[in-house]
Structures are given as C-alpha cells and as structure tokens.
Structure 1
Amino acid sequence: MTTPPFSPVFWRDKRIPFVELRKVADGRHVCYALHSHPHWSLGAIINGKSTFRYRNDNFAVGAGDLVVMNPEWAHACNPIDNHSWSYLMMYVDTQWLTNLRFQAGLLPTPVWLDLHTAVLSDNRWFDRYCHLADCLLNTRSAVTNKQGELEAFLSGLMHELATQPINQQPATADVLTQLSRYIDQYATEDVSLETLCALSGFSEGHLIRSFKQAFGFTPHAYLVNRRVQLGQSQLKKGTPIAEVALNAGFSDQPHFQRAFKRRVAATPNQYRLGSANEKIHAADSK
C-alpha cells in the first residue's frame, strides 16, 4: 500500500528529546481545529498560502513566511480554497528554550516570557530553518551535528525575535488562570461547567466569554485540547491507542480518534509511528 501524499512525517530522536519536527508535503487535505501545544512552536510555509489564526488575530501567510507560536496560545493554520500548501513545524520544549534564552542574557530569570512576534517574513531565517529541517531529517547526519545546528539556529533566532516590535497582550485575570490550572489537574475526569462556575463565582455565560477571551478556547474546548496533549505524550512512548484513549479521559477510542485528528491533523497511529521511526533515525545517525 502506498502512503498518501498528504500523510505527515514526524521526526523525533530520543537523544534530542527537546525537539520534534513535522513535515507535510501536501497539506490541501489538512484541516486544523483551534488547538495549542505545551511547547514553543515554529512553522515554515514551504509552498502555497494559508490562513493563520493566532488567539484573536488572523494573518494571511504564504511561502517564505515563518509563523511563531507561544506555548499554550490557541491557533490554527489551514489552506486556502484547496490550494497547494506544504509546510514544516518544529516543536521545542519550553523549559529547554527558556534556559537557552536565559543563558543568552535574553531573560532576567529562567522563567518563560512570551515572544511578541507572530509572523516573521525574512528570507535569511526561512532559509536557515529549511537547512536545519533538512539536517534533522537526514538519517546520515550525526546526532552531534543535528544538536549543534539546532542550538545555533535557535540561539540566533531568539536574539532576532528579541529585537522585534512589542505587541503587549492583556494580563489574564487570576481567577481564570486558576480555572485553567484546575482543568489541567483534572483533565482526565469530568469537569463540569457548574463546578467551574462554583469555583469562580461567574455565571455560565460570563465564564464562557471570559475564558475564551483569555485563552482562545471555551472551557470544554480547553479540556479536550488538554486531553489530546496527554494522548500525544503517551503515543510518543508507544502506548497502545485504545489504552491512551482511556488514560487521557476519552470515553472510547473512536472519540479520541476524532478529537485527535481535528487538532493534530493526523491519526493517532500516524503520530505514534513517529516513535518507531525514532529508532531508525537514531540507528542511522550514529
């Protein structure tokens, strides 16, 4: 059986656990629901055009653009009118990148601060990103070379982004932050709107509006997104899909499959196969 042209490629290497790369050669059939990641993300539009929704803003992006996503910021990037579209996405562990920025003198303390840039249109950085992606995907490239290229690229990019104009975001109310942490803690359980209203003192309508304004999601959508993130983490470890579905709080595997595909634009099995590919990459890049 041949692999469909729009099947995503996920690159991971256990010896470089703080980075993951996704490549989609034909994204015309890819469609994302609003979602977020616990890590910092950087995308490159290789071909075609797409929309980029980032919290409450919308951007039109095309070939040569880099899109920058802070941890936990709601976003969705989708093709326009079934036009040709291909892209790369890199996901970097937030704490690792925080330490890199701190050691470079770009942060006063080793605590994450959001970056203000959403879209970077700069051929130099686009070309360097593509070069890095080729290096990571190259099974003949040594792991030390991959890590060196990665650190050099991200160190330089963090300095570049530190010079970009600041677009200050409004602060999130403490009560909403506390509610999001409550959902994080009990994501695998049934978290009712009534419970969240009791904890916050808000009416249902006010809670939904305020929460969506702060995080880009309704409380329920935030909960499902968090469950999908938990599922991704377990799939990376090779856990069977049916077991992952129940561990992440879904009622059954089909429910998990649907929610996962809407937010990751890949099936759980496609994502999980990246774990098997790790072994191939690790063996070939020694």
Structure 2
Amino acid sequence: MDFYANTVRRMAVERYPARHLTQRIMRARRFIDRHYHQPIDLAAIAHQACLSQHHFIRCFRQHYGRTPHQYLRDVRMAHARQLMKEGWTVTSTCMAVGYKSPNSFSLLFRQVTGQAPSNYRKAIFDRQARSRAWTIILSPTAQGSAPCESD
C-alpha cells in the first residue's frame, strides 16, 4: 500500500477504534467457524484478532456474551448434533468436530444438551422411524389402492 492508503487506514483506526476492534473480533470468530474441527488454542484465535489473549477474551465476551472457548464449544456441539442427525456414529462425530477423546466429548455433550450423545442419537432415529411409520400408514397407496371417491 502507498503512503496515502496507510495514512487513511491509521486515521480511521484512531477515529473509529471500536469499529476496528469489532472487525478484529469478527475476524477471530470467523476463524473459529472455519477451523472448529481442528485443534485450536486461544493463542491462535487471539492472533487472528491481533490482540493479547487476555484483552481478546474480554473483548470477545463483550461482543458475543461468552468467551471464545464457550463459543468454540457451542459451534462444535451444533455441528455434532447435525452430524448425528445425518447418521454419524458418536466416535466419528467426536473426531469430526475436533475432539480427540470420546469420553470428554460425551461429558461436554451431556453438559450442553442434557443427554448423552448415544441417547440423543437414539432419540433422533426413534423419531425418524415413527415419522416413516406414520407416512406409510397415512399414504393412500400404501394399501395398494387409490383413494376412495364418493359417488
């Protein structure tokens, strides 16, 4: 960049520091959203925002109402629930969303959702099976005949 562009950027930061800080925090959040399945530590996330770790935690909590660690956990759990709805096993889901230990994943999942991942997965498949059963029962072609017409 040339001198003029750098000067304009510096003046914008000096004049609107909150907006500049918000952009940094949003950049870090996008980093979490893109890399949730990888091992991420606080230092890497804070580096994305170009802030110290302690200042980053305070700013992130101020903007999003939770710490970066809580946000990362919530993003991982949301993706885990979606994968289990798609039929993934608990162990494969655990590894796919960035946890290395199925035991720690199960403990966190239970804390967030109130039920064990295996029970959550079973409940999903039970609901889907009931839904399919009702679809078959209510389907007019399920009994091999067309719907009745009144004369």
Q: TM-score, structure 1 length as denominator?
A: 0.38
- In the other structure, the counterpart of 2:13 is none
3-state SS in 2 of match to 1:222: helix
Contact residue 31 and residue 48 of structure 2 kept, 8 A:
no
- CA drift at 1:226: 1.1
- In the other structure, the counterpart of 2:132 is 282
Note if 1:231 corresponds to 2:80.
yes
- CA drift at 1:235: 0.7
Q: Equivalent of 1:194, from 43, 63, 66?
A: 43
3-state SS in 2 of match to 1:251: coil
In structure 1, give the amino acid aligned to 2:51. F
Counterpart Cα distance in 1 of 2:126 and 2:101: 24
Contact residue 28 and residue 46 of structure 2 kept, 8 A:
no
In structure 2, give the amino acid aligned to 1:173. T
- In the other structure, the counterpart of 2:26 is 177
Counterpart Cα distance in 2 of 1:196 and 1:247: 20
In structure 2, give the amino acid aligned to 1:207. F
- CA drift at 1:181: 0.9
**Identity among equivalent pairs (%):** 22
Matches within 5 A, 1:139-150: none
| Structure (1/2) with the larger helix percentage | 2
In structure 2, give the amino acid aligned to 1:237. E
Counterpart Cα distance in 1 of 2:47 and 2:28: 11
In structure 1, give the amino acid aligned to 2:116. T
Counting matched residue pairs gives 116
Counterpart Cα distance in 1 of 2:37 and 2:134: 38
In structure 2, give the amino acid aligned to 1:224. R
| Aligned CA-pair RMSD | 1.8
In structure 2, give the amino acid aligned to 1:275. F
Contact residue 85 and residue 121 of structure 2 kept, 8 A:
yes
Contact residue 237 and residue 275 of structure 1 kept, 8 A:
no
In structure 2, give the amino acid aligned to 1:196. I
- CA drift at 1:193: 1.7
Instruction: With a CA cutoff of 8 Å and minimum separation of 6, indicate the structure with the bigger relative contact order.
Output: 1
- CA drift at 1:276: 3.4
- CA drift at 1:258: 0.8
Any unmatched runs of 5+ in structure 2?
A: 1-18, 139-151
Contact residue 84 and residue 121 of structure 2 kept, 8 A:
yes
Matches within 5 A, 1:135-284: 173-273=22-122, 274-284=124-134
Q: Per-residue CA shift, 1:95-138, capped at 9, x if unaligned?
A: xxxxxxxxxxxxxxxxxxxxxxxxxxxxxxxxxxxxxxxxxxxx
In structure 2, give the amino acid aligned to 1:255. S
Which structure has the larger Rg over C-alpha atoms? Answer: 2
Any unmatched runs of 5+ in structure 1?
A: 1-170
In structure 2, give the amino acid aligned to 1:183. I
In structure 2, give the amino acid aligned to 1:190. P
- CA drift at 1:247: 1.0
